[in-house]
Structure 1
Amino acid sequence: MLQLFHTYIDRQYKTPSGLIGYVIGEKMVKQHQPETHWTISLLDLNRQDTVLELGCGAGYALNKILKTEQVQHVTGVDLSPVVLKLANRRNHREIQSGRAELVHSSVDSLPLENESFHKIFSIHSLYFWEDLQAAVKEMHRLLVPGGMTILTISNGKDGEAWPSIEELIEGQLIPVMTKTGFHHIEMLMGPDSRGYHTVAIAGKKK
C-alpha cells in the first residue's frame, strides 16, 4: 500500500491531475523558490528576449520574469492541464495583453516556430522527459543562433550525490546536447533547497 502511495505521488509530480494536482502544483511553487530565483538570474534576461519555460507548472517562474524583467514575450509549456489552469490564473493579465502564452504539450514535439526564442529553461522537469534526445533537438530548433538553454535539476541531498542523476547528466544529457549542436556546455552549482543540491546544465546554440 505504501509503495502504491509513493508511486501515485511521483505520478502527480510528473503530471499533476485532479483535485490533488492543484495542491501539488502550488506545493512545488513553495518548494522550488530558491532554485527558481537562481535559474532566472542565470538567464541574463534582456528587453528583446523571448523566453520559453519547459514544464512551467503553476507559472511562478513566468510570473517572476514578467514582473521583474522587461522581456518581450514569455511562453510556458506543460503537459498537465491542471497546472496550466493555475499558471493562467497567476499570469492572467499578461496573457490577456499578449505578452505571455501557455501551451499544452509534451517537450519532445512542441507546436512552436523555429528559432523563436532567445532563452529556454526548465526547473525540475528534466527527470520526466520520456525522449531526452527529441527534447534537446526541440530546444535547439526553437532557439535563435546564440540562444541559451538552462536546465536545473537536483543531483543529491544532504551531502550525498545521486549516481543516477550524474549518469543522466554526464552520460546522456551533455553528449546529446553536444551532438545536437550546443556549445559552451557547462554544469553550474546552485543553491541547496530543503537539503537538496541543485545544478544547472547550461549551453548555447551555435
Structure 2
Amino acid sequence: MRLITRARSIIDGQYGNPKGWLGSFIGEKMVRQHRIETVWTIKQLHLQKDENVLEIGCGAGYAMKLLLSTLNVDKVIGLDLSKTLIQSATIRNKKEINNERAQVVFGNVHNLPFKDNKFSKVVSIHSIYFWDDLALAVAEIHRVLTPDGSVVITLCNGKKGEMWEGINTMIHYKLIPLMEEANFQEVKLVTGPLSRQYQTVSVSGKKL
C-alpha cells in the first residue's frame, strides 16, 4: 500500500514540473486529456489578423500547434518551467520554429522574460494551479500585453456536478479582483465544456 501511495505521489508531483522520461509521458498524457478545453480556449481568444501570442505553461506544445495553424497568428511563444516539456514542445512545433513563427522559452509567470507591450494575446490552460504569487502573475501578464490585448486563463472548477470550493473562492475573491485592480477591463468568467467530467471555465480580461 505504501508503494502505491508513493507511486501516486511521484506521478502527481510530475504535473507541476514534469521531468525525465516520466515527465515526457505525462506531457503527452495531458495533450490527450486536455484536447477539448484547448480547442475551446483558442476560440475564446477571438484571434484577429497578425496576432502575437504568448502561452504560459505551454506543456508539450499542443495548443501552440493549433494556434500556429491559424492564419491570423503571426507568431506564438510558449513558456514553461519544465525543460522536459520544452523539448517536447520544440519537437512538436519544429517546422514553425525553423520558420521563426514559433519559439519555446524556459521561464516563470512571476518574471516573464519579455519586454512591455509585446503580445496581443496571452493564454494559459491549466497552469494557474501552480502560480505561487497570483498578484505578481497578473501584473506580469498585464505588463507584456499590448494596449487592446487580452488574456484568457482556463482551468477546471468542479467535477461530476460538484463545484470545488477552494478553486471557486480563488476565482471570485482573488483572481477576478486582482485583474480588476491591475486595470483589466471586461473581466468575465465563462463556463465551458465538460472534459472527462471536469467542468471547464475561463477568466478573461482586456488591457486598455
Write out aligned runs for 1:1-206 (5 A).
1=2, 2-206=4-208
Aligned mates of 2:70, 2:121 — CA distance in 1 = 16
Does the residue aligned with 2:193 lie in a helix, a strand or coil?
coil
- What is the TM-score with the length of structure 2 in the denominator? 0.96
Residue type at the aligned position of 1:36: T
- What is the TM-score with the length of structure 1 in the denominator? 0.97
Aligned mates of 2:34, 2:28 — CA distance in 1 = 10
Aligned mates of 2:72, 2:150 — CA distance in 1 = 18
Aligned mates of 2:5, 2:74 — CA distance in 1 = 45
TM-superposition CA deviations, 1:138-175 (whole Å, max 9, x none) = 10000011111000000000000000000110111011
Q: Gaps spanning 5+ residues in structure 2: where? A: none
Residue type at the aligned position of 2:183: G
Aligned mates of 1:144, 1:185 — CA distance in 2 = 16
Does the residue aligned with 1:107 lie in a helix, a strand or coil?
coil
TM-superposition CA deviations, 1:13-45 (whole Å, max 9, x none) = 111001100000000000000000000001111
Q: Gaps spanning 5+ residues in structure 1: where? A: none
TM-superposition CA deviations, 1:75-111 (whole Å, max 9, x none) = 0000000001010000001111111111100110011
Aligned mates of 1:69, 1:142 — CA distance in 2 = 23
The answer to whether the Cα contact below 8 Å between 1:46 and 1:69 also exists between their aligned partners in 2 is no
% identity of equivalent residues: 46
Does the residue aligned with 1:191 lie in a helix, a strand or coil?
strand
- RMSD, aligned CA: 1.0
The answer to whether the Cα contact below 8 Å between 1:53 and 1:77 also exists between their aligned partners in 2 is yes
Aligned mates of 1:95, 1:81 — CA distance in 2 = 17
Q: Which moved more, 1:6-15 or 1:136-145?
A: 6-15
Aligned length in residues: 206
